Amino acid sequence: MNMNAPYSWTEIVALVLISNLCLSTSYQRTETRPQVCMLCSGSVRNHTTVDRFCSWSAGRIQGRCCLRNDSISDPERIIGLDLSNCSLTHVENLEGASTVVMIDLSLNPIVNISDTVFQGFGDLNFMILPPHAVCPGGNTSWEKVELKEGNLLCEGQKNMCNQTGQPSVYCPENSLCAPYGPGCYECGCAEDYYGYKCLRQGNFPALVVFGPLAAATVVISFLLWVTQRRKAKSL
């Protein structure tokens, strides 16, 4: 085997597979005031969970959003989003809301929540969904999932990097595991490494993987198998 070839076709295919499981949006974050606050008319409803959370956090309500800045120099960010009773059937794009802590999607005829919509939503810690919906990333991505007062509550986002106590199993060498929203984790290359499995030196976007963990494990196992096989061959 030509040792200069950076990676084989099998590995490239595997990499593309992995990347597509969790479309990376990490380097597309926008600072502009997102349209998400105007996704439907009205503003955060009075006396709801998001409204109370906003008052408690000393936030400012604009449209359907609760905004706050941690310091004068920081731009305001969305911490709460009340999209309840918005006639939403699909939830596909909440661009600009990746800093949100609490989302209310109750009272919507939701039929589909895209798997990728909450990628990068690392602070998301409380969701209110219609009863028949599924918490993003599945029940295993949350500390607690319960049906309460006719709504489904997803509480406490789990850190996928800690799931089985062995994060390094999932991220390749020279990379660090970081949470990347419900059911997602990101294998960011360690400093000075980039590219496939962080085998190259330099600076390059990270590899993002989406759970359910089982699916990711299958792909990673496949990757490990490919590498092991290659190692065995080159001996």
Ligand X SMILES: *[C@@H]1O[C@H](CO)[C@@H](O)[C@H](O)[C@H]1NC(C)=O
Residues at the contact surface with ligand X, assessed by CB under 6 A = 46, 60, 68-69, 72, 76, 85, 107, 111-112, 114, 139, 145-147, 159, 162
Cα–Cα nearest to 139, from 151, 128, 150, 155: 155
- Which residue's CB is nearer to ligand X, number 85 or number 217? 85
Rounded to an integer, what distance in angstroms lies between the CA atom of residue 47 and that of residue 235? Answer: 67
Cβ 107 to ligand X shortest distance, Å? 6
Rounded to an integer, what distance in angstroms lies between the CA atom of residue 222 and that of residue 14? Answer: 8
Rounded to an integer, what distance in angstroms lies between the CA atom of residue 44 and that of residue 107? Answer: 14
Cβ 171 to ligand X shortest distance, Å? 14
Cβ 88 to ligand X shortest distance, Å? 12
DSSP string covering 36-75: GGGSSSS-SPTTSHHHHHHHHTT-EEETTEEEE-SSTTSP
- Which residue's CB is nearer to ligand X, number 4 or number 46? 46
CA–chain centroid gap for 22, Å, is 8
57, two tokens: 């956090």
Cβ 62 to ligand X shortest distance, Å? 10
- Which residue's CB is nearer to ligand X, number 2 or number 149? 149
Is-contact 105 117, C-beta < 8 A?
no
- Which residue's CB is nearer to ligand X, number 35 or number 112? 112
Helix, strand or coil for residue 74?
Answer: coil
Is-contact 177 187, C-beta < 8 A?
yes
- Which residue's CB is nearer to ligand X, number 194 or number 211? 211
Cβ 187 to ligand X shortest distance, Å? 16
